[in-house]
């Protein structure tokens, strides 16, 4: 669900783009963050805590916490609350501490 109208904010969304999240195609807008697109698609659980494997969702939305860590285009531990969507990007949820690929 996305807000379509707002009395103060102006939404300049442009053309829809798509990216892949855990193999599922997600629609987004170019100036939208990854987590906003996931939330609009009904995805609320973003990952699990590394030690106790508890579900994690959106917490701060300003890039200060680690609740939204995901792997983006092969790069682990990216804060998807501050990364904007790009056409064709591949986003994967993480379990545990994320593996660095060399």
CA 18 vs CA 7, 10, 89, 101: distances in Å: 28, 22, 8, 25
What is the CATH classification number for the domain harbouring 74? 3.10.20.440
| Span 72-96, pLDDT tens digits | 999 988 999 999 999 999 999 987 6
> Is 75 a member of any domain?
yes
| Span 40-59, pLDDT tens digits | 999 999 888 778 888 888 88
Q: Whole domain around residue 87: which residue ranges?
A: 17-93
Instruction: Categorize the per-residue pLDDT at 23 as very low, low, confident or very high, splitting at 50, 70 and 90.
Output: very high
Neighbour count for residue 45 (Cβ, 10 Å): 11
> Is 3 a member of any domain?
no
Q: What three-state secondary structure class fits 39?
A: helix
What is the reported pLDDT for 68? 87
20 within 8 A of 13, measured Cβ to Cβ:
no
Q: pTM of this prediction? A: 0.82
> Is 48 a member of any domain?
yes
């Amino acid at each position: 669900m996305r807000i379509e109208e707002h009395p103060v904010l102006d939404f300049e969304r442009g053309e829809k783009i798509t990216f892949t999240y855990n193999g599922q195609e997600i629609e987004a807008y170019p100036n939208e963050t990854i987590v906003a697109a996931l939330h609009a698609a009904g995805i609320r659980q973003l990952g699990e805590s590394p030690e106790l494997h508890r579900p994690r969702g959106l917490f701060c939305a300003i890039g200060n916490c680690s609740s939204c860590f995901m792997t983006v285009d092969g790069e682990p531990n990216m804060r998807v609350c501050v990364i904007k969507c790009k056409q064709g990007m591949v986003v994967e949820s993480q379990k545990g501490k994320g593996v660095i690929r060399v």
